[in-house]
């Protein structure tokens, strides 16, 4: 079963409002989570690296005041798109690193992704 849960899977919001997307590691503690975005007909783009208990590290060109990331606990990271606009409509996906948690093998797990539509 899924070990990283992302919610909501689909959300529609009005332009100018804010929307929050949650990424939860279900059976391990993730000190590091990653947030990605997919632009139309393109590959995933890393937006930021979320570190528990500290500020996220944003990639160049990503507006940190618009895409707020909070990693308040070892099992939860949230991405809030503030003052959303139609151009923010996209597919957002998170991944969590379970390194050191005894899960062995591959230590990176992906959420299911979230479709955001801003109208």
Partner 1 sequence: GNSVTQMEGPVTLSEEAFLTINCTYTATGYPSLFWYVQYPGEGLQLLLKATKADDKGSNKGFEATYRKETTSFHLEKGSVQVSDSAVYFCALSDQNYGQNFVFGPGTRLSVLP
Q: Does 101 bind partner 1 (CB under 8 A)?
A: no
Q: Output 14 or 41, the one with its CB closest to partner 1.
A: 41
28-64 burial code (b ≥16 CB/10 A, e <16): bebbbbbbbbeeeeeeeeebbbbbbeeebebeeebee
Do 61 and 42 touch, CB atoms closer than 8 A?
A: no
Pairing relation of β-strands 19-25 and 76-81?
A: antiparallel
Nearest to 94 by CA among 38, 29, 19, 18: 38
Is residue 34 part of the contact set for partner 1 (CB under 8 A)?
Answer: yes
Interaction between residue 62 and partner 1 (CB under 8 A)? no
Q: Does residue 58 belong to the site contacting partner 1 (CB under 8 A)?
A: no
Q: Least separation, in Å, of the C-beta of 108 and partner 1?
A: 6
* Residue 56 binds partner 1 (CB under 8 A): no
Residue 26: CB minimum distance to partner 1, A: 15
Q: Which residues bind partner 1 (CB under 8 A)?
A: 32, 34, 36, 38, 40-41, 43-44, 46, 49, 59, 91, 93, 95, 105-108, 110, 113, 115
């Amino acid at each position: 079963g899924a070990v990283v849960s992302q919610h909501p899977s689909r959300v529609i919001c009005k332009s100018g409002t804010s929307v929050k997307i949650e990424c939860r590691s279900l059976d391990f503690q993730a000190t590091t989570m990653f947030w990605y975005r997919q632009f139309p007909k393109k590959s995933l783009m890393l937006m930021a690296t979320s570190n528990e208990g500290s500020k996220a590290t944003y990639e160049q060109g990503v507006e940190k005041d618009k895409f707020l990331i909070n990693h308040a606990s070892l099992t939860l990271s949230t991405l809030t798109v503030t003052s959303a606009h139609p151009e923010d409509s996209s597919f957002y996906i998170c991944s969590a690193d379970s390194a050191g948690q005894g899960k062995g093998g591959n230590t990176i797990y992906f959420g299911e992704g979230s479709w955001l539509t801003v109208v």
